Amino acid sequence: MSQTTTNEFPFKGMRNRSRDSMEFHTQRLLEDPFGPKVLIQLPEWVNCDPSVHVDKFVRFPSHGMGIVKGKDGRHNIVPHTGEIKIEENVIILEHATIIRPVNYFTVIGENTVIGVGAHIGHNVNIGSNVFITSKAILCGSVTVGSDVDIGAGAIIKNKVRIGKGAVIGIGAVVICDVPDGETWAGNPAKKIQ
C-alpha cells in the first residue's frame, strides 16, 4: 500500500525556515470582490498572497485546543506562535476557521478552496488544488496532498495524511492515513474505491 510522503508536498523544509525568509508580505487588508467594499483585516501571523480571496466572517483564532492541565489541576492555554501561509488563488469562504499554528507554519497551497464553515486545525499542511467542502474538520497536524477532495462534514483525525488525489466522502471520519488516489468514506472511513 503506497503511503504519502513529505516529498509529495510542496512545502517540505518549511520547518527550517525562519520568519525572515517568508516569501509573502503580510496582506493586512483585503477587499471582498463580491460584497460591499468591506475591508477584511488579517492578523499579523497570516501571510497571504494578494490574489487570495478571504470571505467575510472567516476566523483566524489565535489558539485552538492547545490546552494542558497543570499540576494544580487548572487548564492552561499553550501559546500559539506560528504563522499561516496562504498561497496564490486560494479561496476561503464564509465562516471558515483557520487556527494559528502552535509553532512553525500552517500552509494552504495554491488554488485550494476552503468551504463555508470548514475548520483547519493548527499546523495543517494542505497542498495545491485541494477542495475542502463545507463544515469539514481537519484536526491539528493533518497533511493533505494536492488534488484532494474532502466531502462535506468529513472529519480528519489529527496527524493523519491524506494522499495526493484522494477523495474523502461526505461525513467520513478518517482515523488513519489514506493512500494516493483512493476514495474513502464511512465511520471509521474505509476504502470504497
Q: For binding to ligand COA (CB under 6 A), which residues are involved?
A: 133-134, 151-152, 167, 169-172, 183, 185-186, 192-193
Minimum Å gap between C-beta 132 and ligand COA is 10
Q: How many CB atoms lie within 10 A of CB 128?
A: 19
Mention every residue, 6+ apart, whose C-beta is less than 8 A from residue 13: none
Task: Considering the candidates 53, 80, 119, 122, report the single residue annotated as catalytic.
Answer: 122
Q: Which is nearer to ligand COA, 91 or 152 (CB)?
A: 152
Q: Which is nearer to ligand COA, 27 or 134 (CB)?
A: 134
Q: How many CB atoms lie within 10 A of CB 107?
A: 23
Q: Is 53 a catalytic residue?
A: no
CA dihedral 119, 124, 130, 132 (to 10 degrees): -10
Q: Which is nearer to ligand COA, 51 or 134 (CB)?
A: 134
Minimum Å gap between C-beta 94 and ligand COA is 14
Buried/exposed 20-30: b ≥16 CB within 10 Å, e otherwise: eeeeeeebeeb
Minimum Å gap between C-beta 172 and ligand COA is 6
* Catalytic positions: 122
